[in-house]
Amino acid sequence: MEGIHSSTRSRDLLRKIKEFTLSILEDLSEGRSPLIFIQSFRTYCTNLDSICSCRSNKPSGHEVLTFQKESHVHRIDVLLRVLLIVQQLLQENKHASKRDIYYMHSLLFSDQSVVDRAINDICILLQCSRHNLNVVSVGNGLVMGWLRFFEAGRKFDCINSPNSVRMGERSPNLVSAALYILVVEKESVFQRLENDKFCSKNRCIVITGRGYPDVPTRRFLRLLVDKLGLPVYCLVDCDPYGFDILATYRFGSMQMAYDAKFLRVPQIQWLGAFPSDSENYDLPKRCLLPLTIEGDT
C-alpha cells in the first residue's frame, strides 16, 4: 500500500513540475519575465505558558524571483537545473544525495549551500518534503535500546548494539517494548551510556544526533514518537549550543520551517541542569564555566 502511495505522490510531483515549467515557457514566449513566488515560513510558539503549540504550517510571506534582477538570475538557473535532476530521479525511480546533485554541476553550483537552497525552494514550490523528491541524506544519528526495526528488507536490532538512524522514502516498521525515549546531545554521552549498559537496566530507547541533529535523525525521532506514543526527554548542556539543539528538536529549524510539522517534536521535555540551578542550589562558582562572546563555555 505504501508503494502505491509513493507512486501516486511521484506522479503528482511530476505533474506539478510540468505545470511549473510550462508556465515559465509561456511567460518567456509572450515576452514576459517569469515571476517565481517562494513562500516564507517561520517557526514560533503560540503559547509560552504551557506545552508548545508551535505553528509553521502557513506561510508568513513570500519572496519573488525574477530574471529582471541580476542577483536572482543565478538562483533561478540553479533552481531549474536542480528541478531537472529531481524530475529525472522521479521518472526513473532513483535516488541521489544532495552531494551527488552538487557534483553533477559543481562549476555552476560553486558551493553545496547553493544546492541546499534550491532543494528547499523546490520543496516549497511543490509543497512536499525533501525525501519525496528522491533526494536522500545519510543520517549521522545513532540509536540503541529496546527497539527493532525493519528497513529495505533488513532487520536492525538495537538492543544488542547501536545502529545508525535510517530513514528512506518508506517509513521503517517498528517493534519496541520501551517505556520512554532519551535524546542526548553528544556522542560521548551516548557512548558512556552504552558502556554502562544503560539500556539493559532501563527499558528505553536512546538517540543522539551527534550535536545538531540532521533531517533523518529528526524524522526518525518524530516517527518513533508518533508510532510508539512514548514520552521523550532531551539531555543537553546548559549553554547556548545545548538550548539551540533542544529548540531544533522541539520547534524545528528555520532553514526547513516549511517542513517543521513533519520534523518537530513539541512534546519533548528538557533534562539536565537549568540556568536557575546555580542559584537555587548555591552551586560554587568553580563549578561554572565563563560564557564567551562566541557563546562557548
Annotated catalytic, 103?
yes
Q: What residues form DSSP beta bridges with 269?
A: 233
Distance CA 177, CA 157 (A): 12
Cell of 55: 505553528
Distance CA 25, CA 21 (A): 6
Choice among 103, 212, 241, 281 that is catalytic: 103
Secondary structure element (H or E) that encloses residue 63, with its range: strand 61-66
Under DSSP, the state recorded for 120 is: H
Quickly list H helices, the chain. 2-29, 70-92, 98-104, 106-109, 112-126, 187-195, 198-201, 215-228, 240-251, 277-280
Cell of 297: 563555555
So which residues are the catalytic ones? 103
